[in-house]
Amino acid sequence: MARVAIVTGGTRGIGEAISLALKEHGVTVAANYAGNEEKANAFTERTGIASYKWDVGDFDACAAGVAQVEAELGPVDIVVNNAGITRDGTILKMSRDMWEDVIRVNLGGCFNMAHATFPGMRSRKWGRIVNIGSINGQAGQYGQVNYAAAKSGIHGFTKALSQEGARAGVTVNAIAPGYIDTDMVAAVPPEVLEKIVAKIPVGRLGQASEIARGVVFLCSEEGGFVTGSTLSINGGQHMY
């Protein structure tokens, strides 16, 4: 019987690439999304991957969403916490809401999804949780104290939770992407993007598929001896 995975933020960008890669490796995937229903429906039509709408920053919504997925697809073996938002600004211009929104979704979403799925994984003696961090959680970034704090928190969360699952066959790891060629990065002004790429030793942006391949390995049987780790996929931009 195929493993069942939930990929949060799984219908666009890096999340879409992860959903597709897991499906190609025989996993039954549920792609979570929060906002654009039209794009999510188009994703499902194009890929055959079921999409489910809920806000990962909402504790009760995560519990209900996981219950629905399990009722329709089976017990959840794999969770990829990819959903994230930005509310950028220097601290002088950052409101409390901008801070709390990013922490609630980016870091709180990891807790909410793990809380809803971890007990089942432990009881079945097999599970994989992969949390998508960021190079900016490792190195920091001007104008992103909220985002950097949330992503840095993900790395600590990963190390702590991995210790709770290790003897029960549940691994917990993180991936810290660098600058990836997604719609979000494409929206950066060309002159700014040129400066970003100039700082990447391999001389290019990453591809979403390169992040997805890392996720597939960490979620596989072969990845079972890797836990509590952060895999940096950033073209050598930050070595941590």
Residues with a catalytic annotation lie at: 147
Burial class (CB in 10 A: 0-12, 13-18, 19+), 92: exposed
CA 174 remoteness from chain centre? 8
8 A C-beta contact, residue 178 and residue 231? no
d(CA 21, CA 216): 7
8 A C-beta contact, residue 232 and residue 240? yes
Count the Cβ atoms, other than its own, within 10 Å of residue 220: 16
8 A C-beta contact, residue 131 and residue 81? yes
Count the Cβ atoms, other than its own, within 10 Å of residue 86: 17
